[in-house]
A and B are shown apart, each in its own frame.
Chain A
């Protein structure tokens, strides 16, 4: 999945123990350019080392992953981020994706899958875990007033819904492609489109929903 060359990454997480765990798992699969344990350190390091992908913890003291993305994006707009979190709170996940992360995976992911996800983000695609797919389906389920709908951003197409459902059911991209008789590339295109909608939609539900969800979770 990681293509002909292995992508370079910077690892951002405020837990040393966790960083060393991830480093061990990714050894040989990707090129690790550096690690940072705080928001400021991370922003400086990313701007200096210019990695292909930043592996980013959602929860960090001093603002969290979204803050790192904001700090970097202004000066390095093309930087790609993959969020990595133990948090399943929709609020956190949606916040970091809307800030600009190109995907979200849970920390329990295997080293192999993580490397694959990094490769996918490196190629410009989006990485949706089943849980993120579920969040998005939930978030886009609510009705909103007709006159406020921007069909380009506020609604998911039938196909996109189908793809998300299959991802939520635990299908890998290539299995989704097989099931829907489309190419893996098309699946990736759908997922990227959903990611764009998630980031740009003005659906006020997205934030409201995330807050409500937090109450329930």
Chain B
């Protein structure tokens, strides 16, 4: 489990064991470990808690060690660099600080003990813990300087997450201090008296909770609603921005060109296509294969020649040389149809076992394919020649109710 795994993803470039403060709860030791072992962080956390219980808390010390010793994720320095302790590395700094203060306290205590200035061993651990916890909390309050925090949160998209982590770290510090207090009390047998006080406190706290619960609940719900509203507003702003940049611009252009119907139609067509792609989501993988390439060719002809092409494609395949040849020939055929016949042009392609069959049909007056006019010389070379070079064929049927060009090419292999 410790040998380096082959690089499998982007982060896999560096598979050394690291903390992962970005995804961690306290300092990211366990999530770093989980990432290293390709395990679910939740499982690792559960295993860790079990381990803590089994080892009587020793595992916690291992955690602290890991916190101090393991480097965080290698990341570009954040723009909010000066905000110490707020970034991923800040967690590590905090951890080091807590550990350092704890160790220092321990050292001081040990020195006192050696010097004979000592009254009870029971004091040692509580003091060390309390010092570490206090150091964490001090650090915490220093970081939550509102201005600094604002800068940090503004600059980083994960501002909320880091805020959450800050709360966790704070809670960890408080837990350390409280644990120290309890340890001290229990070591001095003072818990008996404290228990009565504790029960009182708990009862009062419970009562307060009962009283405040509805209020707190409402507050929480309001906050959630507010957040949802904020997200909605943001989305609306995004949609508005998109519509402004696309549809409104096009509409303005159209108003300026009221005397150029072809231009208007072309603008509207392009806008429609764009909007459609946007509504469906990013144009997606359709662009990769034969169907995508053919559709794009049809769109290019629509734009360049100011015509409308009715595209119907059945099936799809990856775009190899033959497919590219068909697309090229089809584009030429559509351009010809646009020049000599105009809208509407029908493009139909079927990809099947027998290969690719493509039909380009217009409704022009037709022409005599034997006496190809000079302007249609592209037909010979770009359509028939191209198809034949790739082992396919092109056939032209022209009648007085329109022309249909048929392109055929065999299947792969």
How long is the Cα–Cα vector from A216 to B281 in the complex, in angstroms?
A: 10
Quick check: B350 and A165 within 8 Å, CB to CB? yes
A72 to chain B, nearest CB (A): 28
Quick check: A169 and B315 within 8 Å, CB to CB? no
B352: which A residues are within 8 A, CB to CB? 141
Per-residue 0/1 for B312-340: is the Cβ within 8 Å of any A Cβ (1 yes, 0 no)? 11111000000000000000000000000
The reply to whether the CB of A33 lies closer than 8 angstroms to some CB of chain B is no
Q: Interface centre among B286, B316, B350, by most A CB within 10 Å? A: B350
The reply to whether the CB of B361 lies closer than 8 angstroms to some CB of chain A is yes
A21 to chain B, nearest CB (A): 14
Q: With A130-B348, A137-B350, A169-B404 in contact, do A216 and B310 touch (Cβ < 8 Å)? A: no
Quick check: A130 and B285 within 8 Å, CB to CB? no
| Residues 334-365 of B at the A interface (beta carbon under 8 Å) | 344, 346, 348, 350, 352, 359, 361
Quick check: A169 and B348 within 8 Å, CB to CB? yes
Quick check: B284 and A133 within 8 Å, CB to CB? no
B315: which A residues are within 8 A, CB to CB? 138, 141
Q: Interface centre among B310, B316, B344, B361, by most A CB within 10 Å? A: B310
A45: which B residues are within 8 A, CB to CB? none
The reply to whether the CB of B280 lies closer than 8 angstroms to some CB of chain A is yes
How long is the Cα–Cα vector from A95 to B285 in the complex, in angstroms?
A: 24
Q: With A131-B312, A141-B314, A170-B310 in contact, do A88 and B348 touch (Cβ < 8 Å)? A: no
10 A-B residue pairs with CB within 8 Å: A130-B348, A134-B348, A138-B315, A168-B348, A169-B404, A171-B361, A175-B401, A214-B280, A216-B316, A217-B284
How long is the Cα–Cα vector from A131 to B311 in the complex, in angstroms?
A: 8
Selected from A108, A130, A214, A217, the residue in CB contact (under 8 A) with B312 is: A130
How long is the Cα–Cα vector from A214 to B281 in the complex, in angstroms?
A: 10
How long is the Cα–Cα vector from A171 to B316 in the complex, in angstroms?
A: 22
B312: which A residues are within 8 A, CB to CB? 130-131, 133-134, 168-169
Quick check: B361 and A215 within 8 Å, CB to CB? no
The reply to whether the CB of A22 lies closer than 8 angstroms to some CB of chain B is no
The reply to whether the CB of A89 lies closer than 8 angstroms to some CB of chain B is yes
Nearest residue, chain A, Cβ from B357: A165
The reply to whether the CB of B276 lies closer than 8 angstroms to some CB of chain A is yes
A128 to chain B, nearest CB (A): 11
Q: Interface centre among B284, B314, B315, by most A CB within 10 Å? A: B314
Majority-rule SS of A interface residues: helix
Quick check: A169 and B346 within 8 Å, CB to CB? yes
| Residues 71-101 of A at the B interface (beta carbon under 8 Å) | 88-89
How long is the Cα–Cα vector from A133 to B311 in the complex, in angstroms?
A: 12
Nearest residue, chain B, Cβ from A132: B312
How long is the Cα–Cα vector from A40 to B308 in the complex, in angstroms?
A: 36
Q: What count of chain A residues pass the 8 Å CB interface test? A: 20
B361: which A residues are within 8 A, CB to CB? 169-171
| Residues 107-151 of A at the B interface (beta carbon under 8 Å) | 108, 130-131, 133-134, 137-138, 141
Quick check: B346 and A130 within 8 Å, CB to CB? yes
How long is the Cα–Cα vector from A54 to B286 in the complex, in angstroms?
A: 34
Quick check: A215 and B348 within 8 Å, CB to CB? no
B350: which A residues are within 8 A, CB to CB? 137, 165, 168
Quick check: B284 and A134 within 8 Å, CB to CB? no
B191 to chain A, nearest CB (A): 64
A170: which B residues are within 8 A, CB to CB? 310, 344, 346, 348, 359, 361
How long is the Cα–Cα vector from A130 to B316 in the complex, in angstroms?
A: 17
How long is the Cα–Cα vector from A215 to B284 in the complex, in angstroms?
A: 8
Q: With A138-B315, A165-B350, A216-B284 in contact, do A130 and B276 touch (Cβ < 8 Å)? A: no
A137: which B residues are within 8 A, CB to CB? 314, 350
B86 to chain A, nearest CB (A): 41
Q: With A88-B276, A130-B348, A134-B348 in contact, do A216 and B314 touch (Cβ < 8 Å)? A: no
How long is the Cα–Cα vector from A215 to B285 in the complex, in angstroms?
A: 8
Quick check: A131 and B310 within 8 Å, CB to CB? yes
How long is the Cα–Cα vector from A131 to B347 in the complex, in angstroms?
A: 10
Quick check: B313 and A134 within 8 Å, CB to CB? yes
How long is the Cα–Cα vector from A171 to B313 in the complex, in angstroms?
A: 15
Known: A171-B361, A217-B284. 17 other contacts (CB 8 A): A88-B276, A89-B280, A130-B312, A130-B346, A130-B348, A131-B312, A133-B312, A138-B314, A141-B314, A141-B315, A165-B350, A169-B312, A169-B359, A169-B361, A170-B310, A170-B344, A170-B361
How long is the Cα–Cα vector from A131 to B314 in the complex, in angstroms?
A: 10
A214: which B residues are within 8 A, CB to CB? 280
B286: which A residues are within 8 A, CB to CB? 216-217
How long is the Cα–Cα vector from A169 to B347 in the complex, in angstroms?
A: 6
How long is the Cα–Cα vector from A138 to B316 in the complex, in angstroms?
A: 10
A131: which B residues are within 8 A, CB to CB? 310, 312
B313: which A residues are within 8 A, CB to CB? 134
Q: Interface centre among A131, A138, A170, A215, by most B CB within 10 Å? A: A170
A89: which B residues are within 8 A, CB to CB? 280
B308: which A residues are within 8 A, CB to CB? 108
How long is the Cα–Cα vector from A25 to B361 in the complex, in angstroms?
A: 26
How long is the Cα–Cα vector from A74 to B207 in the complex, in angstroms?
A: 59
Which 9 A-B pairs have CB atoms at the shortest separation, nearest pair first? A170-B346, A134-B312, A169-B348, A169-B359, A170-B361, A168-B312, A137-B314, A168-B348, A138-B314
